[in-house]
Structure 1
């Protein structure tokens, strides 16, 4: 990766981004887009920034729909490289998701999306909050030592404006029923991805298998999906299909 291909944003540009953003989510999306462009080569990097604040749901901004799907899978498992970097304040590098056993089910899910390696770097924030920058690559060998160092420098360079944004924008709250619904959807999506990987089937076929398992056991779809993410046997595709 040619990590120096994009010009670093100036402090004034970052301040303008904060001033012009109507809310924290919009600001974070802009910051993520800047990061993806800054860290990418001829093509923008797949990036996401995750922010957790005490007592409120995590805010996740992704540079593309692909990055969004990848980050949603991580939150469905409530574990993975980015959450580890965020919660422990340390850089996490997964050079090959097919050979890394730290997050077996998560790794299977993202490899099904064509991702080969993942780099997660914490972003320093004030007490009561935590943040991390997550970068995905579709090929191996992208995150060499100079690239990791460059991503870490970039994360440090956006720390100040992120801390300011957290002070300016209060936490966004969701009704409990909506928060539960969003989490349930993410769990089901992650289980569907695992079924796709194992059975080499389409998303539609995977969802149908999940529904069949739910009806056969008279168990709610979310419960079946949660069991799968905890290691239960995945539904098998019908060989006749």
Structure 2
């Protein structure tokens, strides 16, 4: 579904930004529901954002990792190179947008006097104009959406700038929802792993209770002591005990079926 949406958006891009904008937002919403990996989601967002303007621009998403700026995704290699120039210079439009939470517009790099080190490098890469939109999630500045124009100066008109502002707000919300969705999936997987481990440990406790004629607490204490003495995970100790007792490898438990799952 996501790929069909994207192909449709790309096919209709030639009709002009005014016609495309609702479809771009619709594709962004589809990504939120249909993308399981953050990296894939971010890359698709940059591809959509690059089509907010005519002609299509290069786009990158900057965020912070361990206190340092980094590019999370780009629409193409040019955007990645320009982002790196900005990090090397230590300042620039996207870093300013991320730091202040305000949109930063550079209509013409030939007349821009802010961030001279970065501007000089961006000119060498052929950049003519830049639009940097902050990505704000629940009041927290999480990154910036960077749009680089190469065709001519003053390439972003007022309508396109307003679309970029709306798109960035939607993208930030979609990013938050996507991260939450993936986080919930990871929590569910961790829960399933814990339940499988609990089943194996319970089986081993039952074996020890029968062998040692003891209660569950005492059996668990023996299992845990063996785990600590041999520096092994409790589940691994339990599995080895079951396999010794049965003389057969422990069978893999069938996967859990979540509510609403097909099949």
TM-score by length of structure 2 reads: 0.56
Q: CA deviation at 1:4?
A: 2.4
Instruction: Identify the match of residue 154 of structure 1 among 155, 167, 175.
Output: 167
Structure with higher helix content: 2
Contact 2:21 2:163 (C-alpha < 8 Å) held by counterparts: no
Instruction: Identify the match of residue 31 of structure 1 among 39, 45, 49.
Output: 45
Note closer, same or farther for the CA distance 1:56–1:71 as it changes in structure 2 (3 Å cut).
closer
Contact 1:52 1:129 (C-alpha < 8 Å) held by counterparts: no
Q: Is 2:80 aligned against 1:68?
A: yes
Q: Is 2:158 aligned against 1:145?
A: yes
Aligned to 1:84: 96
Contact 1:29 1:61 (C-alpha < 8 Å) held by counterparts: yes
Q: CA RMSD in A?
A: 2.6
Aligned to 2:177: 164
Count residues in correspondence. 167
What secondary structure, in the 3-state scheme, does the structure 2 residue paired with 1:124 have? strand
TM-score by length of structure 1 reads: 0.60
- Distance of 1:12 and 1:82 partners within structure 2: 25
Larger RCO, structure (CA 8 Å, separation 6 or more) = 1
Structure 2: 5+ residue stretches without partners: 1-15, 184-263
Q: CA deviation at 1:66?
A: 1.3
Contact 2:132 2:146 (C-alpha < 8 Å) held by counterparts: yes
What are the residue-to-residue correspondences of 1:182-201 with 2, within 5 Å?
Answer: none
Structure 1: 5+ residue stretches without partners: 171-241
Note closer, same or farther for the CA distance 1:67–1:162 as it changes in structure 2 (3 Å cut).
same
What secondary structure, in the 3-state scheme, does the structure 1 residue paired with 2:22 have? coil
Larger Rg: 2
- Distance of 1:101 and 1:152 partners within structure 2: 24
Note closer, same or farther for the CA distance 1:76–1:161 as it changes in structure 2 (3 Å cut).
same
Q: CA deviation at 1:103?
A: 0.5
- Distance of 1:137 and 1:68 partners within structure 2: 14
- Distance of 1:123 and 1:94 partners within structure 2: 18
- Distance of 1:103 and 1:129 partners within structure 2: 21
Q: CA deviation at 1:101?
A: 1.7
